[in-house]
Amino acid sequence: MPTARVALSGPQDVARQTPDRLRDLPASLPLGAHVLADGTTSFLVWAPALEYVRLRIHAARPFTVELEPLPHGYWGTVLGDVPAGTRYTFVLPDGRNVPDPATRFQPDGVHGASQVVGTGFEWRTASWQAPELRTMVLYELHVGTFTPEGTLDAAIPRLPALRDLGITAVELMPLAQFSGTRNWGYDGVFAFAVQNSYGGPAALKRFVDAAHALDLHVVLDVVYNHVGPEGNYLPTFGHYFTGTYHTPWGAAINVDDSGSDEVRRYFTDSALQWIDEFRIDGLRVDAVHAIFDRSASPFLRELTDAVHARATALGRNAIVIAESDLGDPRVIRPEHLGGLGFDAQWLDDFHHSLRTLLTHEDRGYYVDFGTLAHFARACRTGYVYTGEHSRFRNRRHGAPGPDILPRQFVVYSQNHDQVGNRMRGDRPAGTVTPAQLRLAAAAVLLSPFTPMLFMGEEYGTRKPFPYFVSHGDPALLAAVRRGRLEEFAAFTWEGEPPDPAAESTFRSAVLDWGERESGAHGAMLRLYRRLLGLRRDEAAIAAADAMKTDILDTAGAPSDGAMPDGVITMHRRSAGQSTLLFLNFADRSARLDVPAIEDGWRAALDTESAEFGGAGSDLPERVAAGATIELRPHSAVLLLHDET
């Protein structure tokens, strides 16, 4: 919708502030509107592209203030009697009345007035301390579809169920204000504002406080590689984008071109806001491979440094996780080793090699995977491609990272991308058998890596997670539909995708909490509880301090490949305990001799146990070294040996 124009009543309606008080404003105060300790409110905007900026206060008696020009292209003022809750806009030289680029809250959506937000909140968990990455089990959720209400407040009563399951950290998909009320969140246009339809900033604080009270951590997905297509006012103010590069989603963010210092500040201040004011425990930074930067001091390194430093200054811990498809260990190496300093990254190589074994898909990026050797390599080293030729990319891809620790890789059998970027958004539960679902769960949760679940996975929901939007521009919606069809072309899926703009598409993704404990869903939930209990309680599974996973051959010796008959055997030894994990990816049973590497073993898990919905297990409680065991089709068996 077009922005409104403000008619000034005359010179008496435009107030000017003395520059003395504003001299240090750009360096000393955050961007946007902030209520100060003395009760006044500061306003600061970076607008080097404008000859002047006016501030319109939408109060009972509206008035307009002309902002003072400040160094480096900033404009600002400090006003009295503008309390939290006041609506305001910036008036541009062309007469347009637009929101604040650093707005904290947009109660009326992306085109409406911004609102001054106070920072006060009565936290119940004042002494909260975030955990180390090695103890985390992540649970990715989308606020709008996690509950029928689709709000942060509605999600709070569901948190105890996640804690009881064994989850330690909730990862929220992006909350930055987007157009409409239905969106994945990756079309956000205001990097500081919490989506109004989710409840706004106060609701996020209530959610984080409730999570911390349950010993749950909160990770927030942030998008600093592009801005959504509707409600993006950033180009009006300054050089936020560069024409030097281009992303799949539009113009690239300017982090290495003229004016990029202040653009970096904008996004870094956004990240720091989540850490200090909202007490978020970590950030997942979307698609870092689409943040193009040839500078000597990379923006992403500055970002991770700033987040870690702020958390340390607050006496807390914060993690920063990258989404990266570069296969480059420099992303998760520390700065002193030439890295960007991310604590961890999502590992698509693990997902792709696991999924292709289950489904035999060979289209799009799946063409690079599909063998047991691929999955075995992912389990041993994380990256599957470390300089080898990639058919999908038609070039060499990746680099080795022998110094990378297992906990630095976040692994999953599904996530919002790998479900939602399928044409119909279909879940694995609608594609593979229950036995294969149980096998995938064991492969993820008993791996040496940091595991992540996608909401509803733990009880095998078939609820799809298709792409959905609610843009107001019909031409934009038509472009979105065309773009989705082009994206699916590489996979040669048949049929028509659901309409991203239809409310029914969004509603199809809303979880049904009533199915969670019933029938086959309840059996799957029992398996996830058991797997997460093993991960928490068994030392060799919980330990993720080094890459100590061996793939064994039939003689029990380390091997680069898989055992016969479609079985992978993984051996780990740590903290006075050893594990043997057998993963049978074949559609037939396999009889195997237990490698004689320890004196004896206790059976800890068989995914074919009847309590998990399987056909039943005849695995004895104790298994001698050299004994023969039978693995049913698409099953996992875990044996443990305690050295004491």
Please give the positions annotated as active site: 286, 323
The strands making up 41-46's β-sheet, listed across from edge to edge, are 32-35, 41-46, 74-79, 68-70
Strands (E) located in 5-122: 14-16, 32-35, 41-46, 54-58, 63-66, 68-70, 74-79, 87-91, 97-98, 114-115
Rounded CA separation 239/4 (Å)? 23
- Find, among 127, 156, 162, 158, the residue nearest to 452 by Cα: 162
Other CB atoms closer than 10 Å to residue 421's CB: what's the count?
Answer: 17
Rounded CA separation 300/286 (Å)? 12
Q: Which helix (H) or strand (E) holds 192?
A: strand 190-194
**Maximum pairwise Cα distance, the chain:** 93
Beta bridge pairs of residue 97:
91
Rounded CA separation 152/545 (Å)? 34
Rounded CA separation 339/342 (Å)? 8
| Distances, alpha carbon 153 to alpha carbons 203, 390, 432, in Å | 6, 45, 34
Query: Could you tell me whether strands 138-141 and 450-454 are parallel, antiparallel, or unpaired per DSSP bridges?
Result: parallel
Beta bridge pairs of residue 190:
177
| Distances, alpha carbon 554 to alpha carbons 78, 448, 584, 628, 637, in Å | 74, 22, 14, 12, 16
Query: If you search the block for the tokens 């239809």, which residue do you land on?
Result: 502
DSSP structural state of residue 382: S
